[in-house]
Amino acid sequence: METNPTSDIRDPISASGGPLGAAVDWITDFGGVLIDWLIGLGDIAMFSLRTFGWLLGRLPRKETIIPNFYQIGVLSLPVVALTGTFIGMVLVVQSYVQFRSMHLEAKLGAVINMSLVRELGPVLAATMLAGRVGSAMAAELGTMRVTEQIDALVTMGANPIHYLVVPRFLGCLMLIPALTIMADFMGVAGAFFYAVYLLGIDSHHYLENSRHFVGNFDLFVGVFKSLFFGAAIAIIACYRGFNCNPGAEGVGRAATTAFVYSFVAILLLDLLLGIAMDGIYFALWPEAPKLF
Amino acid sequence: MVATATHISDSSGPLIQMEGVEIDFGRQRVLRDIDLTISRGKTLAVIGESGCGKTVLLKTIIGLLRPTRGLVRFDGRNLAELSERELTRQRIRFGFLFQQAALFDSMTIAQNIGFSLRQHTDKRVDEIRYIVLARLAEVGLPENILDKKPAELSGGMRKRVGLARALALEPEIMLYDEPTTGLDPIMSDVINELILSTRRQHPITSIVVTHDMRTAQKVADRVVMLYPLPRLRADEPQIIYDGPSDRIEQAADSRVSQFVRGEARERLMEMRQLNGR
Ligand SMILES: Nc1ncnc2c1ncn2[C@@H]1O[C@H](COP(=O)(O)OP(=O)(O)OP(=O)(O)O)[C@@H](O)[C@H]1O
Ligand SMILES: [Mg+2]
């Protein structure tokens, strides 16, 4: 509804022609894109702040929370469990040959479970959540925006952030740890099943190695990271929905961009948090066991 | 929150004042220099051809759109200066019927109509049910739709549910965006009577946007006619008629009387000229 202040300010310079003009055009275009980006970033930051503000105040009612929690948590479990199992088994298939050529099959448990618990479990659960729930939320809120339902909420004295965003945010934030643990568990179980029953790796060594190298801290790191993923998914999806362009096309775009942006955010956060958590880990336990 | 918005205001002055309001969407100007005063307890009809900015006008009054220039005063206070919380408190005093009804499609009809009762009062479930049933009866809808979703209703039924929802909290100010569009003549008159009877029950200030001259003349004390900006000279005011509803047919401005009588001849000529070029 508000007009975009950047769209109208380019005219005077771009009128100049020639190579210099082209360069100036390029710079102004680039500057325009950059400014749009910064405005978008500022906008989403404001959106997050308003959500956090409402989180500190009054919580939404049970009737608005429970359906969202059901959507986000319960209905996502099967798909997260399924992908978790397969990723565990795929990891074993992929690494078995290399590890056997070095006669390190028994270490397989440590490597696979470590990467599952620290990386793949959380990232996979978050990706599934972004795909299954994030884009659906963006489409739903986008439809509400386009059909003026969000305006109707406002006229009826309900704050749309409080009423629509906070329950979804809480749902993603509070249930993604459970989904992550589910992905971890099914991945570990799937890998164990494939390694021990199908490839015949000695189960005692497989488990002992895992126990030795994968600790509570690794589990904690994965679950801790997932909280950030969940928050990012909810904020991005709701923001895209709230700022949906008119029409069916706008709703479709809101859904796809919600997923793409969430996925990029997940990977970016994963990298940053991974670096930070490693720093913390080696500061806390300088003489931690090394794998090789 | 509070059941009835208690407020201190001088009850003599106008309820809503628009002063020099201008609304732009990007480069498109929709409203220009609108000065409009709406007195307490009166009903104002807003007419004008499709696309001239009637819906935009209503949304500006309730604060969904912010004027690019100028200001809207409600009860003497500038809307733009109110805090979010205060704005919410003032909005509860309004009922808004959206042109496309804007029902919450994840909720049943009963939940839609009872929404603001649940949000803003501590009424019990059975009390809310009672009010919902009463509102539903007022707009001439059967009880058996209560547990349906909006998608299962016809357009005209949705519109009437929207009306029931807007009236649920007994607002002091009702903004109707084309309340009778899409309804059969009998049902249109039922809605006209409803608008009139809500006025008799408690003092209510209303603005009715309509294309239906019968509605305008039946329910309104005063009519204003907006003219679309692109076809207006720069020095003309955008409100080309502002006066009592029963004398609009004798308006001096030929554009007004033609609109009221639904004569398209001049407009057709204008369109042919445009196409010819
Ligand atoms: N959100 C918006 N973004 C951009 N332009 C808009 C927006 N809303 C309305 N407009 C423009 O404002 C003008 C007036 O629209 P409005 O909906 O107020 O018309 P109206 O008088 O209610 O017409 P109708 O009788 O058909 O409902 C239109 O030209 C429309 O293109
Ligand atoms: Mg309209």
What secondary structure, in 3-state letters, does B202-262 show?
Answer: CCCEEEEECCCHHHHHHHCCEEEEECCHHHCCCCCCCEEEEEEHHHHHHCCCHHHHHHHHC
Contacts B100 to A, Cβ<8 Å: 147-148
Position A10 confidence tier, pLDDT thresholds 50, 70, 90: very low
A16 is written with which tokens?
Answer: 């100049």
Q: Tell me what the mean pLDDT of segment A148-158 comes to.
A: 95
- What does the alpha-carbon distance between residue B111 and residue B105 come to, in Å, rounded to a whole number? 10
pTM: 0.88
Residue A239 CA to ligand 2 center (angstroms) comes to 27
Beta bridge partners of B71: B19
Whether residue A157 and residue B91 make contact (CB cut-off 8 A), yes or no, is yes
Q: Are B40 and B203 in contact (CB under 8 A)?
A: yes
Interface ipTM = 0.90
Q: How many CB atoms lie within 10 A of CB B158?
A: 22
- What does the alpha-carbon distance between residue A153 and residue B118 come to, in Å, rounded to a whole number? 13
Better-predicted residue by pLDDT, A166 or B5: A166
| Residue B155 CB less than 6 A away from ligand 1 | no
Position B10 confidence tier, pLDDT thresholds 50, 70, 90: low
On the CB side of A45, CA atoms within 13 Å amount to: 6
> Using one digit for the tens of pLDDT, what is the confidence trace for B73-86?
998 899 999 998 89
Q: Tell me what the mean pLDDT of segment A76-80 comes to.
A: 94
- What does the alpha-carbon distance between residue B175 and residue B57 come to, in Å, rounded to a whole number? 10
| Residue B72 CB less than 6 A away from ligand 1 | no
What's CA B181's distance to the chain center, in Å? Answer: 12
For a ligand 1 pocket test, name from B27, B55, B59, B213 the mutation site with the most ligand atoms within 8 angstroms of its C-beta: B55
Contacts B115 to A, Cβ<8 Å: 156, 158
| Shortest CA distance from A140: residue in chain B | B106
Better-predicted residue by pLDDT, B209 or B234: B209
| Residue B181 CB less than 6 A away from ligand 1 | no
- What does the alpha-carbon distance between residue A79 and residue A25 come to, in Å, rounded to a whole number? 48
Percent above pLDDT 90 for chain B = 57
Q: Min CA distance, A176 vs chain B (Å)? A: 24
Residue A14 has pLDDT above 70, yes or no: no
Whether residue A154 and residue B26 make contact (CB cut-off 8 A), yes or no, is no
Residue A175 has pLDDT above 90, yes or no: yes
Element (H, E) at A257: helix A247-284
- What does the alpha-carbon distance between residue A45 and residue A50 come to, in Å, rounded to a whole number? 9
Q: Are B181 and B6 in contact (CB under 8 A)?
A: no
Nearest ligand, measured from the Cα of B48? 1
Residue A291 has pLDDT above 90, yes or no: no
Which domains occur in chain B, in start order? 10-93+173-194+204-277 (3.40.50.300), 101-170 (no CATH)
Whether residue B59 and residue A152 make contact (CB cut-off 8 A), yes or no, is no
Whether residue A155 and residue B91 make contact (CB cut-off 8 A), yes or no, is yes
Whether residue B98 and residue A156 make contact (CB cut-off 8 A), yes or no, is no
Beta bridge partners of B207: B44, B175
**Domain-by-domain residue ranges, chain A?**
58-284
Position A288 confidence tier, pLDDT thresholds 50, 70, 90: low
Residue A12 has pLDDT above 50, yes or no: no
Residue B111 CA to ligand 1 center (angstroms) comes to 29
Q: Which residue of B25, B65, B88 is in closest CB contact with A157?
A: B88
Residue nearest to atom 17 of ligand 1 (CA): B55
Q: Are A150 and A242 in contact (CB under 8 A)?
A: yes
Q: Which residue of B84, B100, B119 is in closest CB contact with A156?
A: B119
According to the model, what pLDDT value does residue A24 have? 87
Contacts B150 to A, Cβ<8 Å: none
Better-predicted residue by pLDDT, A283 or A176: A176
Q: Which residue of A4, A140, A156 is in closest CB contact with B116?
A: A156
On the CB side of B52, CA atoms within 13 Å amount to: 21
- What does the alpha-carbon distance between residue A264 and residue A262 come to, in Å, rounded to a whole number? 5
Q: Which amino acid is at B172?
A: E
Q: Min CA distance, A30 vs chain B (Å)? A: 21
Position A5 confidence tier, pLDDT thresholds 50, 70, 90: very low
Least confident span in A146-150, A157-161, A254-258, B7-11: B7-11
According to the model, what pLDDT value does residue A13 have? 47
| Residue A275 CB less than 6 A away from ligand 1 | no
| Residue B203 CB less than 6 A away from ligand 1 | no
Contacts A155 to B, Cβ<8 Å: 62, 64, 91, 94, 96
According to the model, what pLDDT value does residue B8 have? 46
Position A292 confidence tier, pLDDT thresholds 50, 70, 90: low
According to the model, what pLDDT value does residue B2 have? 41
Position A16 confidence tier, pLDDT thresholds 50, 70, 90: low
According to the model, what pLDDT value does residue B5 have? 42
According to the model, what pLDDT value does residue B29 have? 93
- What does the alpha-carbon distance between residue B73 and residue A22 come to, in Å, rounded to a whole number? 49
Give the mean pLDDT of chain B: 89
